[in-house]
């Protein structure tokens, strides 16, 4: 048991993975299962037990309930989870941010009230698209109409939150995607995230593409979709504070910023990652091995550790920093890696206006947004 505590000291953010979904989407590569409700009940007890065993979460600032889908839990199970979290000595009432992910078809007044009663103050709604035929192709259970109604409810109930979209979907046109973005702007969204579709080989959608049942994602449209959406959001007063995340001032996600700033956090539940001093730990990916691990007392030996090389740490630090609005602190880099950052290598990109230096920070400019991977390869 003592071992379990080594890697959790000083964590100030907690991610909790709720691994259940009513059905599994065709592109899904998360740890998610469509399981009977008795497993939901067992999960709630086990994940709270995991937190007790991995004690050491002090002065928590952010908590994020993600998945899977936390909103797939019944009112009874969600209440048990929230009560259990409140009972742990985590000072839930003093959090700066307490977020919960929702699927549109699971949003209702009773669940919203429950979340509010327990101090949840931010939502993240998995919309993905407002085109019904694309939603069907993705294997999502909601329609555009359900998503818009869910967003409206959540946006009125919570002081802040995000609509999460995907782009570069098979059969998606630039107009389709931009129309989604505009819809949420006109509904008063304070935060929008959008990610280009990536498909793992084993996903059902990838297999359908291989069998030529549907088209491949339109990768050639990626730059146009991304840049036009960014322009729409920026003209609506939303700032790009991370490559895929746009927010009105004051509505940036504090929890996700912890990941980008490489601050320590702990993940609980199956497949959850923790990060401490450059090392990533992950719990068993699938539900049953994870449940066994918790029942055995969460031994550290049951965690997968990823200890990066010095070079790997450097690449990750620069890559994550350049994704953010603040960019890379040159003095912070020198302090962490014991050497000066080579501006000579960055110079060609500064000349091209892909990178800039501003108050001691190396930052990505709009024209460089699509070239980050190429830039990283050359500057490190
Ligand atoms: S809602 Fe998300 S986690 Fe659940 S099956 Fe769909 S993609 Fe996977």
Distance separating the N- and C-terminal Cα atoms of the chain? 40
Nearest-CA residue for atom 7 of ligand 1: 28
- What local confidence, expressed as pLDDT, does residue 127 receive? 98
Nearest-CA residue for atom 8 of ligand 1: 28
The reply to whether ligand 1 has any atom less than 6 angstroms from the CB of 69 is yes
In terms of Cα–Cα distance, which of 69, 131, 76 is closest to 100? 69
Domain assignments of the chain as residue spans, ordered by start: 2-260, 310-379
Q: Contact at 8 Å (CB) between 192 and 238?
A: yes
- d(CA 42, CA 207) in angstroms, rounded, equals 33
- d(CA 161, CA 127) in angstroms, rounded, equals 13
Nearest-CA residue for atom 6 of ligand 1: 25
For residue 57, the tally of other CB atoms under 10 A from its CB is 22
Contacts of 202 (CB under 8 A, 6+ apart): none
- What local confidence, expressed as pLDDT, does residue 56 receive? 64
- d(CA 192, CA 246) in angstroms, rounded, equals 5
Q: Which residues pair with 192 in a beta bridge?
A: 163, 246
The reply to whether ligand 1 has any atom less than 6 angstroms from the CB of 28 is yes
Instruction: Give the predicted TM-score (pTM) of the model.
Output: 0.94
Residue-by-residue DSSP string for 161-176: EEEEEEES-TT--HHH
Q: 282 C-alpha to center of ligand 1: Å? A: 19
- What local confidence, expressed as pLDDT, does residue 59 receive? 80
The reply to whether ligand 1 has any atom less than 6 angstroms from the CB of 247 is no
Q: 337 C-alpha to center of ligand 1: Å? A: 38
The reply to whether ligand 1 has any atom less than 6 angstroms from the CB of 25 is yes
Q: Contact at 8 Å (CB) between 260 and 324?
A: yes
- What local confidence, expressed as pLDDT, does residue 55 receive? 65
Nearest-CA residue for atom 3 of ligand 1: 68
> Which pair of structure tokens corresponds to residue 148?
């818009």
Q: Which atom of ligand 1 is nearest to the CA of 140?
A: 6
Q: 69 C-alpha to center of ligand 1: Å? A: 7
Give me Rg for the CA atoms of the chain: 21
Q: How many helices (H) and strands (E) does the chain have?
A: 15, 15
For residue 217, the tally of other CB atoms under 10 A from its CB is 21
Cα separations (Å) of 347 from 263, 355, 364? 29, 8, 13
- What local confidence, expressed as pLDDT, does residue 7 receive? 45
- What local confidence, expressed as pLDDT, does residue 9 receive? 52
By CB atoms closer than 10 A (0-12, 13-18, 19+), residue 369 is middle
Q: Contact at 8 Å (CB) between 118 and 88?
A: no
- d(CA 214, CA 216) in angstroms, rounded, equals 7
- d(CA 11, CA 280) in angstroms, rounded, equals 13
The reply to whether ligand 1 has any atom less than 6 angstroms from the CB of 68 is yes
Cα separations (Å) of 279 from 269, 304, 312, 320, 339? 18, 10, 11, 15, 21
- d(CA 254, CA 250) in angstroms, rounded, equals 10
For tokens 């129309």, the residue is 179
Q: Which residues pair with 63 in a beta bridge?
A: 14, 98
Q: Which atom of ligand 1 is nearest to the CA of 103?
A: 1
- What local confidence, expressed as pLDDT, does residue 6 receive? 43
The reply to whether ligand 1 has any atom less than 6 angstroms from the CB of 21 is yes
φ, ψ of residue 278 to 5 degrees: the values are 80, -5
Q: Contact at 8 Å (CB) between 107 and 71?
A: yes
**Domain topology for 310-379:** Arc Repressor Mutant, subunit A (1.10.10)
- What local confidence, expressed as pLDDT, does residue 3 receive? 45
- d(CA 355, CA 372) in angstroms, rounded, equals 10
2-260: what CATH class? alpha beta
Q: 268 C-alpha to center of ligand 1: Å? A: 18
- What local confidence, expressed as pLDDT, does residue 340 receive? 95
SS3 for 340? Answer: coil
> Which pair of structure tokens corresponds to residue 246?
């746009």
pLDDT tens series, the chain, 380 aa: 444 444 445 678 999 999 999 999 999 989 999 999 999 999 999 999 999 998 667 789 999 999 999 999 999 999 999 999 999 878 888 999 999 999 999 999 999 999 999 999 999 999 999 999 999 999 999 999 999 999 999 999 999 999 999 999 999 999 999 999 999 999 999 999 999 998 888 889 999 999 888 888 899 999 999 999 999 999 999 999 999 999 999 999 999 999 999 999 999 999 999 998 889 999 999 999 999 999 999 999 999 999 999 999 999 999 999 999 999 999 999 999 999 999 999 999 999 999 999 999 999 998 899 999 999 999 98
């Amino acid at each position: 048991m003592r071992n379990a505590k080594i890697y959790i000291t000083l964590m100030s953010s907690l991610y909790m993975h709720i691994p259940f979904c009513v059905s599994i989407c065709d592109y899904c590569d998360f740890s998610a299962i469509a399981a009977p409700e008795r497993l939901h009940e067992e999960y709630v007890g086990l994940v709270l037990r995991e937190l007790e065993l991995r004690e050491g979460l002090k002065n928590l600032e952010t908590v994020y309930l993600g998945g899977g889908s936390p909103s797939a839990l019944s009112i009874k199970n969600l209440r048990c989870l929230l009560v259990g979290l409140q009972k742990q000595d985590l000072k839930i009432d003093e959090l700066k941010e307490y977020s919960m992910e929702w699927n549109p078809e699971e949003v209702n007044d009773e669940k919203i009230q429950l979340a509010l009663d327990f101090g949840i103050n931010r939502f993240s709604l998995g919309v993905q698209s407002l085109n019904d035929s694309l939603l069907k192709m993705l294997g999502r259970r909601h329609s555009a109409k359900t998503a818009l109604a869910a967003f409206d409810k959540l946006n009125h109930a919570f002081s802040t939150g995000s609509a999460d979209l995907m782009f570069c979907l098979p059969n998606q046109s630039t107009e389709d995607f931009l129309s989604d973005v505009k819809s949420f702007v006109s509904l008063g969204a304070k935060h929008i995230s959008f990610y280009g579709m990536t498909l793992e080989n084993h996903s059902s959608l990838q297999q359908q593409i291989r069998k030529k049942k549907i088209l491949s994602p339109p990768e050639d449209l990626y730059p146009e979709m991304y840049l036009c959406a960014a322009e729409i959001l920026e003209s609506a007063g939303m700032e790009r504070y991370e490559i895929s995340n746009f927010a009105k001032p004051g509505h940036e996600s504090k929890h996700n910023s912890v990941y980008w700033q490489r601050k320590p956090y702990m993940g609980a539940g199956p497949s959850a990652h923790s990060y401490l001093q450059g090392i990533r730990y992950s719990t068993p990916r699938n539900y049953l091995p994870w449940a066994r691990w918790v029942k055995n007392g969460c031994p550290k030996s049951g965690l997968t550790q990823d200890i990066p090389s010095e070079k790997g740490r450097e690449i990750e630090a620069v890559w994550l920093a350049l994704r953010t609005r603040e960019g890379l602190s040159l003095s912070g880099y020198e302090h962490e890696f014991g050497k000066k950052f080579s501006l000579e290598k960055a110079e060609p990109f500064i000349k091209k206006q892909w990178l800039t230096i501003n108050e001691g920070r190396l930052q990505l400019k709009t024209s460089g947004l699509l070239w980050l991977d190429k830039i990283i390869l050359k500057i490190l």
